[in-house]
């Protein structure tokens, strides 16, 4: 998994960097997202002027969109930039407390520039949200510039190393050339040229979401490595009273906590490869002026961002709980992985908001299919189910399970569409009807994402790439695919059973297959997670080190805490003794 | 909810104390559990000698069972106590690193005594695990006594105020009278009298679990209060483009994040009342020498402990995520509530271990029922389903839904029992067969717990107590019951559909009922959580205060962090500037 030719900058996208900075890195957003955003939205002159300075780390910058009062809803942002033709400058302002920028990564302590999303006004006329590159601190002294109120937003559940910041601006003036003008433009006379395609505004986010899916898979893989290794060291509760307590991994219930997460991390890692290919194709299309696949890519990247974040966070937590009480110790590093994973449910588009967007995309696609219009490849299955509404027979083969998940997603879409129409026909406005159908939208959208993972993971394991792998590797991958499909099918059974006839024997057989594949994976489990190739430094865990010296490492970590440096804690004489003697 | 007549000690069991010490309290275990354990297991003389000293807080003590290498499996504990008849003393030892006591609450910094669970040996003969009251620090100086290695286990995911400790003992001698001898006894000559009933050993834990259910309900209610209030202040994403952005609580998907958790917290609060009554009856029975209902109470307290911890943790997290990015800030206090709630999945009996025990209890009960033997009241439904294996018609009434959940739990028990028998008939040992049926055991056990909550919550809302409440209060409670039963039925639909025939219309109707009751609850939501009567001090949250001044409080909290006390952070001149100038 390691790549040897790495520079400081592209380190941020290399697996070798994964998890290396446990509390998050103040410059990740700069290198993973900001530089790309500048490349995409600067004119060549602008990029030469300040983009390259960021790239060379002469200045440090971040991206500020979210405000105290607004996040995902771009048009609700309140920071404004008024063009002043007299001085050829923009004047930036934070009108009230809710307009303060909030959550900008690295801005708390580490940035002297900031790419600020603000509402543009020319002659008092609103021109929509645009990006402005604003200097916020002196390059030499780092003192905040006049009119700039900047600071740290305070402690968080995780990402303690990222120093997220706030930013208030009061009549801060920047040259006109500091609005990113590759697409939309403001001329010196105040005339405005709008962007040729509004979707370009969110393209930077699409790329970030592709990366987030890979990161989510990595967090889950790292946590699975820790928990699996620990489960090979820890012994508890004899299965047979006359024998030694077994490795806890021999308990079937423990296998059920570990192996599905290994399979899930792989499913997302492989699905994200597919997504990444689609992203690169789309980049080329855009360069040739073709924007057709953008809504599909947007929707798919959102769906995978959502389900990978949900599954990774829940999986990491199941793995942490699988380490018993010791997983609660910070020295296990499991709660830190959880804090990193769950954050992805919210950043770069809050999950529910994204699911609603995907839901609307599905409604539009369903309607298009009804009218016979062509669909994007990854929603083609909707049209197929419309044409052939009968599922046919459940066989339980992998292909059949992929078909079943798509069929279920399509039927959930159909039902949501039906509910929407019913509401419209009862006289609700389009918007109210959409709000009231929100729960069904999110359910259909989630299944759309899951159906994609079913399909792409199966393709990656059984498709042409299998020819390039050894038979033994294919065997392990097939076991993990089997486990993933079976456990996810069981997880989604209430949805499946609504549309597909499964007999009691079919269900019994799925339970048997689940138990069988767990047993098959048991001997390989430690080797599989070793194969993920995380270093002890990356895992940073007393429970998950390669040598398995769990108790010694836990004990060392405890002895090294500041609390244990004196035989009598300070609090005793200062607080506890007087309190106990006071006889309340 | 407040009680005015409170003393220092019983404060620990009063709702007014809930959440007041955000990081946990080093003396909670002492007052909630230890004093009760001493009362239950000391002879009257022993309680006079040292029990009352704890009660009066002249000495501070805790309970140490878990070791570095062993937790829930009592017989695996390695700390040993050898009786020395020459001196009439026990000699306590920690044989190796894995035998160190670990996780004893308050022991890290605050206790000078400790109730130690250790394996008793007399003349080298093993007599099982017993409790020994051991002095660990000098009462005046607080220095550890000779042979005592004591300290803090280090930072955890939560409970930072509880200073969990470790304890190693090397030839530490205590008088014979410091083994708790109300039931089992060691005489001066070394003769041993065993306890009349081994279940008495775990009775202290039963009581703790009853309390844990109440606490879990309280954490969820507190988090629901914060998220509901925030959702009334926060505005986002217009539903109708021409109108102002609505309170986010007007989005149906947001209602779906909030209201089910309000209902769940109430369901557990009310079910725990039932459990508490059963506990108090059982106490009286024990005083009269009757132990019949102990296994049932044990099993039920375990089931509620498990499902309340799982639901509370997951619910708090859904509520935190419902607060968007701001829920990730420590100043929201949501992640702290999560850390408190999820800990309950592990302490006082790890959830999966408990589910397996309940599973075995269900197998035993199922077998008894088959042979016509009488069953304890709360598993009586198993016999009923055996007698009348046909569910009848789904009507969707509350009564019918309670019946459906019991029917499903019984059928899951039946299937697990069938799998167990099949494995036995294939020649597996009893133990291996039980291990291999583990997943089905845990599923049946969880449903057993859920069926109990269905039944007791419905009884509490619709039963005789409703006569004592106002019509308007009953109306709110009925809406919450409706929401709880419908959403839980939908959550468990894959299990239900396996045994009960529901038509597509039935399912559509449940979805309609869900959406209808969310709408009904919307106008009352803030008033309901206000009715939980948590003070701002208890909630300790910038997002959830009574006055709703969310942004002002977030901003103040940020300005007060140590990171914001200087205009240029120290790190700039020391680290960042030299690094940026170095031109890597």
DSSP assignment, residue A144? B
Q: Which 3 state secondary structure label does DSSP give A94?
A: coil
Mutate to test the interface with A, among B27, B140, B237, B322 (most CBs of A within 10 A): B237
- Given this model, what pLDDT does residue A435 score? 95
| Residue B400 to residue B409: CA distance in whole angstroms | 14
Q: H or E stretch including B299?
A: helix B294-322
| Four-CA torsion B493, B496, B501, B505, nearest 10 degrees | -20
Any chain B CB within 8 A of the CB of A157? yes
In chain B, residues with a C-beta closer than 8 Å to the C-beta of A350 are 324-325
| Residue B414 to residue A508: CA distance in whole angstroms | 13
Give the Å distances, CA to CA, from B345 to B161, B311, B333, B352.
19, 10, 20, 9
DSSP B383-422: HHHHH----------HHHHHHHHHHHHHHHHHHHHHHHHH
Contact indicator for A315, A261 with CB cutoff of 8 Å: yes
| Residue B209 to residue A374: CA distance in whole angstroms | 59
Contact indicator for B170, B147 with CB cutoff of 8 Å: yes
Q: How far is B238 from chain A (nearest CA, A)?
A: 9
Mutate to test the interface with B, among A325, A411, A444, A507 (most CBs of B within 10 A): A325
Give the Å distances, CA to CA, from A559 to B150, B153, B165, B425.
10, 8, 11, 52
Any chain A CB within 8 A of the CB of B256? yes
Contact A68 B498 (CB under 8 A): no
Q: H or E stretch including A151?
A: strand A148-152
> Two tokens at A318?
């199941």
Mutate to test the interface with A, among B101, B552, B563 (most CBs of A within 10 A): B563
Mean pLDDT computed over every residue of chain A: 93
Which of the residues of A are catalytic? Answer: 348
- Given this model, what pLDDT does residue A205 score? 73
The bridge status of strand A80-84 relative to strand A113-122 is: parallel
Please name the residue of chain A whose CA is at the shortest distance from the CA of residue B145: A567
Across A187-225, b (16+ Cβ under 10 Å) vs e yields eeeeebeebeeeebbebbbbbbbbbbbbbbbbbbbbbbb
pLDDT tens, residue order, chain A (584 aa): 333 334 445 555 666 677 778 888 899 889 888 998 899 899 999 999 999 999 999 999 999 999 999 987 888 999 999 999 999 999 999 999 999 999 999 999 999 999 999 999 999 999 999 999 999 999 999 999 999 999 999 999 999 899 999 999 999 999 999 999 999 999 999 999 998 776 666 666 777 888 899 999 999 999 999 999 999 999 998 888 888 899 999 999 999 999 999 999 999 999 998 888 888 888 888 888 888 888 888 899 999 999 999 999 999 999 999 999 999 999 999 999 999 999 999 998 899 999 999 999 999 999 999 999 999 999 999 999 999 999 999 999 999 999 999 999 999 999 999 999 999 999 999 999 999 999 999 999 999 999 999 999 999 999 999 999 999 999 999 999 999 999 999 999 999 999 999 999 999 999 999 999 999 999 999 999 999 999 999 999 999 999 999 999 999 999 999 999 999 999 999 999 998 888 55
Q: Which 3 state secondary structure label does DSSP give B342?
A: helix
pLDDT tens, residue order, chain B (584 aa): 333 334 445 555 666 677 778 888 899 889 888 998 899 899 999 999 999 999 999 999 999 999 999 987 888 999 999 999 999 999 999 999 999 999 999 999 999 999 999 999 999 999 999 999 999 999 999 999 999 999 999 999 999 899 999 999 999 999 999 999 999 999 999 999 998 776 666 666 777 888 899 999 999 999 999 999 999 999 998 888 888 899 999 999 999 999 999 999 999 999 998 888 888 888 888 888 888 888 888 899 999 999 999 999 999 999 999 999 999 999 999 999 999 999 999 998 899 999 999 999 999 999 999 999 999 999 999 999 999 999 999 999 999 999 999 999 999 999 999 999 999 999 999 999 999 999 999 999 999 999 999 999 999 999 999 999 999 999 999 999 999 999 999 999 999 999 999 999 999 999 999 999 999 999 999 999 999 999 999 999 999 999 999 999 999 999 999 999 999 999 999 999 998 888 55
This prediction's pTM? 0.96
Q: What confidence tens digit (pLDDT) does each residue in A329-343 have?
A: 999 999 999 999 999
Contact B144 A567 (CB under 8 A): yes
Least CB-CB distance to B331: which of A154, A551, A555? A154
Q: How far is A99 from chain B (nearest CA, A)?
A: 10
Any chain A CB within 8 A of the CB of B237? yes
Contact B155 A331 (CB under 8 A): yes
Across B48-64, b (16+ Cβ under 10 Å) vs e yields eebbebbbebebbbbbb
Contact B71 A236 (CB under 8 A): yes
Any chain A CB within 8 A of the CB of B572? yes
Contact indicator for B117, B79 with CB cutoff of 8 Å: yes
- Given this model, what pLDDT does residue B1 score? 34
Any chain A CB within 8 A of the CB of B166? yes
Contact indicator for B234, B254 with CB cutoff of 8 Å: no
Longest dimension (CA), chain B: 90
Q: Which residues contact A406 (CB under 8 A, 6 or more apart)?
A: A381, A385, A451, A454, A455
Length of chain A: 584
Any chain A CB within 8 A of the CB of B163? yes
Contact indicator for B295, B376 with CB cutoff of 8 Å: yes
Residue A76: phi and psi, rounded to 5, are -85, -10
Contact A515 B432 (CB under 8 A): no
Catalytic residue, chosen from B78, B348, B440, B488, is B348
Any chain A CB within 8 A of the CB of B584? yes
- Nearest 5°: CA angle at B49, between B44 and B55? 90
Q: H or E stretch including A133?
A: strand A125-135
Q: Which residues contact B468 (CB under 8 A, 6 or more apart)?
A: none
Q: How far is B150 from chain A (nearest CA, A)?
A: 8
Range 75-104 of B in CB contact (< 8 A) with A: 76, 97-98, 100, 103
DSSP A39-59: HHHS-HHHIIIIIHHHHTTSS
Beta bridge partners of A251: none
Beta bridge partners of A247: A235
Contact A435 B251 (CB under 8 A): yes
Contact B335 A432 (CB under 8 A): no
In chain A, residues with a C-beta closer than 8 Å to the C-beta of B507 are 498
Q: Work out the burial of residue B538: count CB atoms within 10 Å of its CB; fewer than 13 is exposed, 13-18 middle, 19 or more buried.
A: buried
| Residue A41 to residue A44: CA distance in whole angstroms | 9
Q: How far is B236 from chain A (nearest CA, A)?
A: 7
Q: How far is A241 from chain B (nearest CA, A)?
A: 8
Q: Which residues contact A272 (CB under 8 A, 6 or more apart)?
A: A210, A213, A214, A217, A304, A308
Residue in this structure with the two tokens 């995520």, named with its chain if needed: B321
Give all domains of chain A, ordered by start, each with its CATH number: 27-196 (2.40.110.10), 204-526 (1.20.140.10)
Any chain B CB within 8 A of the CB of A60? yes
| Residue B27 to residue B106: CA distance in whole angstroms | 6
Give the Å distances, CA to CA, from A94 to A116, A145, A499, B497.
11, 15, 52, 55
Q: How far is B566 from chain A (nearest CA, A)?
A: 9
Contact A572 B142 (CB under 8 A): yes
In chain B, residues with a C-beta closer than 8 Å to the C-beta of A76 are 236-237, 245
């Amino acid at each position: 998994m390691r790549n040897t030719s790495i520079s400081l900058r592209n380190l941020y996208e290399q697996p070798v960097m994964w998890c290396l900075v446990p509390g998050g890195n103040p410059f990740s957003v700069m290198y993973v997202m900001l530089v790309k955003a500048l490349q995409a939205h600067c004119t060549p002159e602008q990029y030469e002027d300040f983009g390259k300075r960021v790239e060379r780390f002469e200045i440090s910058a971040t991206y500020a969109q979210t405000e105290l009062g607004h996040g995902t809803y771009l048009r609700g942002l309140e920071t404004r930039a008024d063009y002043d033709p007299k001085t050829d400058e923009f004047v930036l302002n934070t009108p009230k407390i809710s307009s303060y920028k909030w959550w900008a990564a690295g801005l708390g302590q580490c940035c002297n520039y900031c790419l600020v999303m603000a509402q543009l006004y020319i002659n008092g006329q609103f021109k929509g949200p645009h990006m402005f590159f604003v200097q916020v601190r002196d390059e030499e002294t780092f003192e905040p510039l006049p009119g700039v109120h900047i600071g740290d937003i305070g402690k968080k559940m995780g990402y303690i190393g990222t120093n997220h910041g706030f930013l208030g601006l009061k009549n801060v003036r920047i040259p006109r050339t500091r609005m990113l003008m590759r697409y939309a433009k403001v001329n010196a006379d105040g005339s405005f040229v709008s962007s040729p395609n509004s979707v370009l505004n969110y393209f930077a986010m699409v790329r970030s979401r592709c990366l987030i899916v890979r990161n989510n898979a990595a967090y889950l893989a790292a946590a699975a490595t820790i928990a699996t290794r620990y489960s090979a060291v820890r012994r508890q509760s004899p299965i047979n009273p006359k024998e030694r307590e077994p490795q806890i991994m021999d308990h079937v219930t423990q296998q059920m906590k570990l192996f599905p997460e290994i399979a899930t991390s792989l499913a997302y890692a492989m699905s994200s490869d597919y997504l990444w290919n689609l992203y690169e194709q789309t980049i080329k299309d855009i360069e040739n002026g073709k924007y057709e696949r953008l809504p599909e890519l947007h929707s798919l990247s959102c769906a995978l961002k959502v389900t990978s974040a949900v599954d990774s966070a829940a999986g990491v937590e199941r793995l942490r709980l699988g380490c018993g009480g010791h997983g609660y110790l910070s020295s296990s590093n499991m709660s830190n992985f959880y804090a990193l994973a769950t954050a992805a449910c919210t950043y770069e588009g809050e999950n529910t908001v994204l699911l609603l967007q995907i839901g609307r995309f599905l409604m539009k696609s369903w309607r298009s299919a009804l009218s016979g219009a062509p669909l994007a490849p990854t929603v083609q299955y909707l049209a197929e189910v419309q044409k052939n509404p009968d599922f046919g027979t459940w066989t339980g083969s992998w292909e059949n399970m992929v078909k079943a998940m798509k069929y279920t997603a399509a039927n959930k879409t159909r039902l949501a569409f039906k509910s929407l129409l019913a509401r419209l026909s009862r006289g609700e406005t389009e918007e109210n009807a959409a709000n009231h159908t929100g729960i069904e939208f999110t359910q259909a959208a989630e299944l759309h994402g899951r159906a994609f993972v079913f399909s792409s993971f199966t393709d990656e394991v059984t498709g042409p790439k299998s020819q390039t792998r050894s038979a033994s590797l294919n065997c392990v991958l097939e076991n993990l695919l089997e486990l993933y499909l079976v456990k996810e099918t069981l997880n989604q059974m209430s949805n499946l059973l609504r549309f597909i006839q499964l007999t009691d024997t079919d269900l019994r057989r799925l339970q048997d297959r689940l138990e069988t594949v767990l047993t098959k994976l048991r001997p390989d489990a430690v080797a599989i997670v070793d194969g993920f190739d995380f270093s002890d430094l990356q895992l940073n865990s007393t429970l998950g080190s390669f040598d398995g010296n769990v108790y010694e490492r836990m004990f060392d970590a405890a002895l090294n805490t500041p609390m244990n440096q004196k035989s009598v804690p300070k609090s005793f004489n200062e607080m506890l003794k007087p309190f106990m003697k006071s006889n309340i």
